[in-house]
Amino acid sequence: MINSIFFVIGFTIVFILLGASATWLGAFLSSKISLLSKIGGLIIIFFGLYKMGLIRAHFFLKEARVNIKDRKFGYAGAMAIGAAFAFGWTPCIGPILGVILTYAATLDRVNQGVGLLFAYSLGLGIPFLLTALGINQFWGFFGRIKKYLKLLEVGSGIIMVLVGVMIFTNKLVLIQSWLPFLNRFAL
């Protein structure tokens, strides 16, 4: 469990730094916000279509692996492996992370990008920690939901396309009017 915590800390640090960098870079390029929003919207639409399986980009399916069999690295090693995992951009997290980073680049304050990537890290990290606590129960749960994985991918892709279109057309602010309770959670 402690190794899992350090693994999650490792990728959380990388994701938060990416969020802060994207927001800083976005603030630096704010004079081009209209053009960047359109480009960002198109990128998000592309990733949504990719998630739905309508576009097959084989370069997203490549991954780098390091063989660490039978080696014990301790907590620092677990954190380093978590950081390496974050940089790996595996096919399952790459499109969604790309969308979040693209959105973070359009935000005004660095802490907003940090908050987005921290929330993303929690969403990715909590299942790792729960898995470490109950691996046997996890396999039973996964066995029950794996038949729905394609449906979950298509659903997340549809949401990404919708968000991309909203960013492209500068209508993302409509979400707050549709879901007023989100105003309480504004960063």
pLDDT computed for residue 158 by the predictor: 92
pLDDT computed for residue 29 by the predictor: 66
Q: What is the mean pLDDT of residues 41-61?
A: 81
Q: Please check the confidence at residue 22 and state whether its pLDDT lies above 80.
A: no
pTM of the model: 0.50
The dihedral region occupied by 74, where left means phi > 0, alpha psi between -120 and 50, and beta the remainder, is left
Instruction: Write the DSSP symbol of residue 75.
Output: H
How far apart, in whole angstroms, are the C-alpha atoms of residue 187 and residue 184?
Answer: 9
Q: What is the mean pLDDT of the chain?
A: 76
Q: Please check the confidence at residue 186 and state whether its pLDDT lies above 60.
A: no
- pLDDT category, 187, cuts 50, 70, 90? very low
Where are the domains positioned within the chain?
Answer: 2-185
- Whether 167 contacts 44, CB under 8 Å: yes
Count of other CB atoms within 10 angstroms of residue 19: 29
Percentage, residues of the chain above pLDDT 70: 76
